[in-house]
Structure 1
């Protein structure tokens, strides 16, 4: 065989054996493209995408995911993608008939097939536990836990939206900070001056908040951004911020423990941006988990939700993907 022919075959193998993982969250989205024949995580190519909006017509999550597929094929037009896995926030609650939307990805020029759409809790699980059975809580803009063995057991806890759920999440912390701040603004309390100052620095004067925040389709992600300032204030010893972060940590622990179905191993992990907040948040989370689930194995995540989306794509390419199991995964 000539070196030219060998090079042509190598190029064809590289072109035909790529997988695409997409992670769509409340504050942004990402895509990871990597060769199937390389070790997991090697030669990965990354793209950033847009933020999800939620309005009366539902969520734009599939539009965001489809835009990332198109952006990937534009960025690397010579790569033929073998399979795609999407993990998306709100897929089960805010998108009607996700299975029907799979055709959008297959119909696009050069789109990868087969395709699987999954709730973000599943790709978070695949990332944190690497395919092992157990429970994982994902805490970013929202908060959701999933206990599963990827076969017979599927237990969801949380993730029902920021108006009455998403306990301990970024948007929950942001809302609690705004509640405390507005009480101090109104003179009902005096303990949240630092939170009021942080919120006004981010969103403007308190009287403008209804017009600035309640009218936004992406308000969950916008409000969740305040959690960074709350965490920083807690780290500096602010009492009101520390109380919010401690409560958030305990709420997340209770969500995770509730996902530990009796049919699953007592194995658990976590993922998501909120776990970047150390101190009061992490301390409260770990202490409450130990109290509620003595003897359970709580260990650091093996990877991120984006890693989980890539793992999902690899499972699809290998024919090992979990069977279609609404409302967790659609194929």
Structure 2
């Protein structure tokens, strides 16, 4: 167990996504060293699963709160900020869970969709648009008061353009066409898919029956990105198309009501792929939104969850805006 000071108040940020979840405990009042994560305590948790009754996101959140309190019993938690995937679409009533989460935490709780905490992490509370690209892909343009424009994030079956799951699906589509003899150019992807999932005839059983199918597909995106980085043409094309699609999602989230200069940023694990993805993203965004400023993300979604917790601790959380933010 890490040592904490009984005289220090702490905030807990929780980020729940399709490939994993994380919790971070930080002092409620920060120094510059602490703002850089120097005083952060961290826990990792499981990803969200999708069951016939919906998302397991709030169950994952509850377990992380319990683990954090057990891991750091001396820490006086003054507030909890939570960002989770699927809250707006796959959780029947997020607001109804706030009381139970507050009781478990023993502190005020602010709950948001993952796009909001990604926004807070990337822009630090400034108005603008942010796209978060991990297992899924979602953008939000907001001033955290009056403007709330969501684009994307509707799941891997028919949306999440350019996300890890989308890249994985496109990689498998190319691979199976080469397996069937329709094409001959995706041999490298076919080999990578067979290494990950076994022989192609086994793929339906590997994928269609899983409740965590999105995260499994996103895992294959790492193989696609790896092949693109060594010059595989089909993989490079997939990554470039993904970057362009993500740019379109971000540009669409730049609501005209947002103040000028319009700020925009991208965050999430897929951006680490760099290469064709990043080049296409930057090029297409400049074409679609020439008057906007694409800025580096100041932090990630977990940083945004900690930011949200600090706002909750001081009573500065924006008024609730379901289906984006609950307090």
Task: Report if TM-score (shorter chain) is over 0.5.
Answer: yes
Please report how far the alpha carbon of residue 79 of structure 1 lies from its aligned counterpart in structure 2 after TM superposition: 1.1
The residue number in structure 2 matching 1:297 is 293
Q: 2:215 aligns with which of 209, 214, 221?
A: 221
User: Which residue number corresponds to residue 5 of structure 1?
Assistant: none
Match of 1:136 in 2: 130
Where structure 1 has 5 or more consecutive residues not aligned to the other structure, the ranges are 1-9
Partner of 2:191: 197
Give distance in 2, aligned partners of 1:169 and 1:244: 11
Secondary structure (helix, strand or coil) at the match of 1:34 reads strand
Matched residues in 1 for 2:164 and 2:93: separation?
Answer: 28
- Pairs aligned (count): 318
Give per-residue Cα distances to partners, 1:198-227, cap 9 Å, x unaligned. Answer: 111111111111111110000100110011
With over 3 angstroms needed to count, the CA separation of the structure-2 counterparts of 1:271 and 1:11, relative to structure 1, is closer
State the distance in 2 between where 1:46 and 1:59 align.
Answer: 24
Name the CA distance, whole Å, in 2 between partners of 1:235 and 1:296: 29
Asked whether the equivalents of residues 80 and 112 of structure 1 are also in contact (C-alpha less than 8 Å), the reply is no
- State whether structure 2 residue 201 is matched by structure 1 residue 240: no
Match of 2:52 in 1: 56
Contact between 2:6 and 2:74, CA under 8 Å: does it hold in 1?
no
Asked whether the equivalents of residues 6 and 75 of structure 2 are also in contact (C-alpha less than 8 Å), the reply is no
Measured in 2, the distance between the counterparts of 1:316 and 1:197 equals 49
Structure 2: where are the runs of 5+ without partners? none
SS of structure 1 residue aligned to 2:256: coil
What residue number does 1:319 align with? 315
The reply on whether 1:45 has 2:37 as its aligned counterpart is: no
State the Cα distance separating 1:12 from its structure 2 match.
4.3
Aligned to 2:145, the other structure's residue is in SS state coil
Deviation at 1:11, TM superposition (A): 4.8
- Residue of 245, 265, 270 corresponding to 1:269: 265
Cα distance between partner residues in 2 of 1:125 and 1:53: 23
| Structure 2 partner of 1:82 | 78
- The alpha-carbon deviation at position 42 of structure 1 amounts to 3.8
Number of the residue aligned with 1:161 = 155
Written as runs of structure 1 = structure 2, the 5 A alignment for 1:140-151 is 140-151=134-145
Which residue in 1 is equivalent to 2:22?
Answer: 30
SS at match of 1:118: strand
1:6 paired residue number: none
Distance of 1:81 and 1:302 partners within structure 2: 25
TM-score calculated relative to the size of structure 1: 0.94
The separation in 2 between residues aligned to 1:64 and 1:125, in whole angstroms, is 22
